[in-house]
Amino acid sequence: MAMTSINAADLIELFKTWKTLFAEQREFLIALDGKVGDSDLGITMSKAFAAAAEALEAEGEGAGIAKLLRTAGATMARTAPSTMGTLTATGFLRASKAVEGKDVLGTAELAAFWRAYRDGVGERGKAKLGDKTLIDVLEPIAATLEAQASRGASLSEALKVAADAADQALEATKSMVAQHGKAAAFQEKTVGLQDAGATVGCFLIRRMADFVTDRSAGREA
């Protein structure tokens, strides 16, 4: 039986897999960020998601989806007060408002989740499309999920298409010139490099897609 939505218990498990992912990718992100940034991205993300995963487990599924996302955002903001930590935290806090009162997240709810996440990051980071930031991946994720929701796509299919769109968008950041943060000081030197923040966005959506696919396969087994 395919997984058609994500409930509160699933969300806690998803954060655990994000925690594992960012622990695994810590050194890769440090190296990527170190080329034009200050090398702290891998540390920030592994710390933020480890703390969030623990906080959600402590909170429990009874808290409901919106409160769990609020807890994740607040925990990240406290644990990793760097630029990217703050942006990621803001994304989850905004997403929690977009899914207030929802017991499960299907394709339409996740489209609203990622749209709110994208808007929160954009407003907080004052970034726009083409600035070579996380936004360059978040916008196609949100737009793709909205399109998939309107055509009634299943959750696993919609997330897979969104993750593929994010990968293409990440590849496109290589040809852009950085406009924000430490990377902006390097300007032309950033051409040819994929954006570190956008890489995090790709990791998030791809792991979410894999999580739903794996869960669906598990239920069918």
All domains in the chain, ordered by first residue: 6-220 (1.25.40.340)
Give the span between the Cα atoms of 168 and 184, in whole angstroms. 22
Instruction: Say what percent of the chain tops pLDDT 70.
Output: 89
**175 pLDDT higher than 90:** no
- Quick: pLDDT tens for 188-219: 565 667 888 899 999 999 999 999 999 888 76
Mean pLDDT of 10-36: 92
Mean pLDDT of 49-72: 98
Question: In this predicted structure, what is the pLDDT of residue 34?
Answer: 78
| More confident call, 185 vs 88 | 88
The pTM assigned to this predicted structure is 0.92
Mean pLDDT of 155-163: 97
Mean pLDDT of 125-134: 84
Question: In this predicted structure, what is the pLDDT of residue 197?
Answer: 87
For residue 25, how many C-alpha atoms fall within 13 Å in the half-sphere facing its CB? Answer: 23
**150 pLDDT higher than 80:** yes
pLDDT band at 154 (very low <50, low <70, confident <90, very high): very high
| More confident call, 40 vs 180 | 40
**18 pLDDT higher than 60:** yes
In whole numbers, what is the pLDDT of the chain averaged over residues?
A: 90
Largest Cα–Cα distance of the chain, in whole Å? 52
Instruction: Name the CA radius of gyration of the chain, rounded.
Output: 16
Question: In this predicted structure, what is the pLDDT of residue 68?
Answer: 98
In this structure, how many other beta carbons lie within 10 angstroms of the beta carbon of residue 115?
20
Question: In this predicted structure, what is the pLDDT of residue 190?
Answer: 53
Nearest by Cα to 203 from 163, 172, 145: 163
Planar angle of CA 88, 94, 98, nearest 5 degrees: 135
**5 pLDDT higher than 80:** yes
Distance between first and last Cα of the chain: 9
**187 pLDDT higher than 60:** no
**145 pLDDT higher than 80:** yes
Question: In this predicted structure, what is the pLDDT of residue 189?
Answer: 60
